[in-house]
Structure 1
Amino acid sequence: MEILNQPYVDPEFESLVERINDPRVCIDNDTCSHCTVVKVDSANRHGILLEMVQVLTDLDLVISKSYICSDGVWLMDVFHVRDQLGKKITDETLTLCIQQELCDTRRRGGIQKDLQTCLKRNHASMEHTALEITGRDRPGLMSDISAALYELECHIIPAVAWTHNGRMACLIQLEDGVEGGPITVPKRLAQVQEKLESVTEAHHENVDEKTVRLTGLATDRIHTERWLHQLMYTDRDYKSCRGCTGNCRHQNECNNTHVTVGTCREKGYSVVNVRSRDRNKLLFDTVCAFTDMQYVIFHAAVSLNDSMANHEYFIRRQDGCSLVSESESRKLTQCLITAIKRRVSLGSRVDISSENNMGLLWKVTRVFREKDLSISRMELGTHGEKASGCFYVTDASGNDADSGTVESVKQQIGGSVLAVHKSSWSSSTSEVEDRRCTFSLGNLLWSLLSI
């Protein structure tokens, strides 16, 4: 293990540097003909790269290229971004929002209400009770969870669930279905937790695992997708991860994910190269993986070649050490591949829109269960009196449901179904997420605001 001597930097000095040198954000539409260039110069601190990438992805911007340089107390990062239609960012309100959000939090303010809503849609609200569930996935699990909450008269506000490698992570925000507002009575919270632990068969898991946890009031500004990454990493869904790890003879012609780990001894960095099919939020997912494993990204280059994304990261552990252990490199490789695959959703996608009624999630998931369909991923959000969401469903074998079954589901759910899309993945392109048909609560929100 290579240990580098790190100079001591007083925390007060770090904050002084940031106070004296305000962050500078430049939005450039002239340099590049097909995208907007966002340049950020700022005092460096741990986690700031993830925050910047998170802001850009929350605004539904696609990052096609990026250059990261944050060695020392200062960073200079460049992002090439486009909207979901592949166009430059020309809306002045949106560019102002990008500038303000990428600057120091104490300088934020004056952002229009619609943009504030867009930025907050992926964050837990302090007005609700937060519920997190992790554990083994099985058919009908989400139906059982939502049925139990309906029976306990809990109103599900937003809910997000991911499944991967036989594991499941779910985040649900709750209101008291009778009195309204968050559930704060300890006895009631204990009742909800006990019921859900019974439903998820927590007593069959490792006794040291706590698969159901109610956190009282959700902490504001916690990002739900970031939270899901942390839950699934803690649940070790990366074990037995399968994927190309750089040993493929024709790596440049392979559409699978490749991760290689090397060293840069001159500078004391570990060099990580990631090659994957490009998709939305790919950079966000990989940076989350590095952050969860306590690695610091000092330099990075992200580029796109046709449909393939190439990422190169120069990293060290948070304690200043580089990677030299084979087992550590293997775990990092597994976790990066897993973080990329978590968001990939196989099956048919069903988009719904309905009145925001208690029991809506239970009614929808019950229909899927009755048709022997399993949910591989779901996202349900609310906007006042309306609720909307998307569900990716597969048959018992993990394949797309046949057209007859899907049509039957559509008729049984009723007029709340907006659209049903067949999976846009095949065995050779299972990691591609088609941007043209990707459901996004942000996209739906923008369409409602524009009416």
Structure 2
Amino acid sequence: KVYQKNESPKVLSVLGFHFPETMKNFSCLAFSVFFSFVLNYICVCRVVIDNSSCEHATVIEVYSIKRDGVLLEVVQVLVDLNLMITKAYISSDGEWFMVVFHVTDHDGNKIREKGILNYIEKSLKWATYQNELPPMSLESNTSIFLDYTTIELTGTDRPGLLSEVCAVLTDLRCNVVNAEIWTHNARAAAVIHVADESTGCAVEDPKQLSMIKELLWNVLKGNNNLRAPKMTISTPGTTHMQRRLHQMMFADRDFERLECFEDTSSRPQVTILDCADRDYTVVVLRSRDRPKLFFDAVCTLTDMQYVVFHGTLITGRMEAYQEYYIRHIDGLPISSEAERQRVAECLEAAIERRTTEGL
């Protein structure tokens, strides 16, 4: 219809596309192809960053075509930039996904630096496109360095475990490039990136790799014969490190609470309700607010194969309120008491894993 009315240049100008007079009479087929590209470009993802509508926070709106995992990937971008999410609203009924974030830096200030705002916009678009590689680093124009060996460990937590793991790696001439260790409910999980001391690259010698595996296994096992430790050595993967730690702790069943850890005074409150008229399960979480809390909840629901259709996050001075309308990936709400209890336990564990208890 646009072509027949000879209004294609006018429409494209409104959309922000401009071209010379010689291109204004191109064929119907060419216009159809180009216009389809324009619509896809507009509809796949739209990111709006606004510093004027809210007095205390930068408002970020993301609109895109709905796909599995997009919410987690979008939240992950903001978490990796160490932004504080003070409020969030999610809606993803039908084929579309929309989320609005209120974010600040760690000092509670709006994000005003133009370079950071541009990087946020590009990274969020990249996340919704589901590209395999991340955008360039914020600090430089070089790709992220990936020439290392990844060691994943899970086992029983005990005093001195970390120092013993580091001592083994030092004796085997491995430099620790990056590492993150979580402990919860007497369990420990670690993702460690190491490089060969002599080459500065990934460890490739089969004998050295075998020795690393054998010695670390002995360290993890210790005197505990109840639960065998788990360990893998591999090349770098594409899974986000903190998401991987959640997956490892979940697989190690750290959500099964021991009798000596039954203090409920400081535990997060998880309530699971039915929304029968819309075939949703409603998950309500109340807990002490802290950085990355939103990511931990969304990550756990995603890895447990639940889809968030609607959601809200509101943080106060010390408390955070989260509400999610979910279904299992098969389209069904939670249907049994056992499943309800398991979801509640796993969400409690996900929130507690990153909570610091001090000395």
TM-score by shorter chain over 0.5: yes
Alignment match, 2:250: 233
Mapped partners of 2:174, 2:267: distance in 1: 42
Q: Which runs of 5+ in 1 are unaligned?
A: 1-15, 246-253, 348-399, 401-451
> What are the residue-to-residue correspondences of 1:379-394 with 2, within 5 Å?
none
Q: 2:123 is paired with a residue of what secondary structure? A: helix
Tell me which moved more, 20-29 or 67-76: 20-29
Match of 2:179 in 1: 159
Indicate the SS of the match to 1:160: strand
Shift of 1:340: 0.5
1:138 Cα deviation from its structure 2 partner:
0.9
Show the counterpart of 1:24. Answer: 46
Report whether the alignment pairs 1:282 with 2:299. Answer: no
What is the distance in 1 between the residues matched to 2:113 and 2:336?
A: 48
Q: Which residue does 1:56 correspond to in 2? A: 78
SS of 1:42's equivalent in the other structure is strand
2:185 maps to amino acid: N
Equivalent residue for 1:128, pick from 121, 137, 148: 148
Q: Give the Å deviation of 1:163.
A: 0.6
Counterpart selection for 2:94 from 72, 84, 90: 72
SS at match of 1:114: coil
Which whole-Å deviations, capped at 9, do the CAs of 1:139-168 have from their partners, x for residues lacking one?
A: 111111111111111111111111110000
Name which of 307, 320, 334 aligns with 1:323: 334
The answer on whether the counterparts of 2:220 and 2:229 sit within 8 Å (CA) in structure 1 is no
CA distance in 1, matches of 2:141, 2:271: 39
**TM-score after normalising by structure 2:** 0.82
Task: Flag the 1:244–1:52 CA change in 2: closer, same or farther, 3 A.
Answer: farther
Tell me what 1:148 maps to. 168
Contact 1:272 1:312 in 2 (8 A): yes
CA-atom RMSD, angstroms? 2.6
Structure 2 counterpart of 1:218, which letter? P
Unaligned runs of 5+ in 2: 1-37
The letter for the 2-side match of 1:114 is E
Change (3 A) 1:210 1:143: closer
Inter-partner Cα distance in structure 1 for 2:222 and 2:274: 42
Q: 1:18, 1:42 within 8 Å by CA — same for their partners in 2? A: no
- Identity, % of aligned pairs? 40
Q: Taking structure 1 as the reference length, what is the TM-score of the superposition? A: 0.66
| 2: CA distance, partners of 1:53 / 1:19 | 22
Question: Residue 197 and residue 312 in structure 1: after superposition, are their counterparts in 2 closer, same or farther (change >3 A)?
Answer: same
> 1:147-226 to 2 correspondence within 5 Å?
147-201=167-221, 205=225, 211-215=230-234, 217-219=235-237, 221-226=238-243
Q: Is the 8 A contact 2:123 2:135 kept in 1?
A: no
Work out which structure has the larger RCO, using CA pairs closer than 8 Å and 6 or more positions apart in sequence.
1
Higher radius of gyration, 1 or 2: 2
User: How many angstroms does 1:210 deviate by?
Assistant: 5.5
Specify the SS of the correspondent of 1:65: strand
State how 1:224-263 maps to structure 2 within 5 Å.
Answer: 224-240=241-257, 256-263=267-274
Task: Name the CA shift for 1:115/1:48 in 2 (closer, same or farther; >3 Å).
Answer: farther
Distance 2:225 2:90 in 1: 42
Residues 268 and 348 of structure 2 are in contact (CA less than 8 Å); yes or no, is this contact kept in structure 1? Answer: yes
CA distance in 1, matches of 2:135, 2:176: 31
Q: d(CA) in 1 for partners of 2:226 and 2:309? A: 38
- Deviation, 1:179, is 3.1
Quote the offset at 1:112 in angstroms: 6.3
* Shift in Å, 1:187: 2.7
Distance (Å, rounded) in 2 between the aligned partners of 1:201 and 1:22: 49
Structure 1 residues 150 and 330, CA, compared in 2 at 3 Å: closer, same or farther? Answer: same
The one-character-per-residue Cα deviations of 1:363-417 (angstroms, maximum 9, x if unpaired) are xxxxxxxxxxxxxxxxxxxxxxxxxxxxxxxxxxxxx2xxxxxxxxxxxxxxxxx
The counterpart of 2:69, out of the listed 31, 34, 47, is: 47
Match for 1:214: what amino acid? Answer: I
**CA separation in 1, counterparts of 2:120 and 2:252?**
34
Quick check: 1:340 aligned with 2:359? no
SS in 1 for 2:315: strand
Distance 2:140 2:341 in 1: 41
| Counterpart in the other structure of 1:265 | 276
Give CA deviations for 1:252-286 in whole Å, capped at 9, x if unaligned.
xx864110001111111000000111111110011
Q: Show the counterpart of 2:30.
A: none
User: Within 2, Cα distance between the matches of 1:243 and 1:80?
Assistant: 35
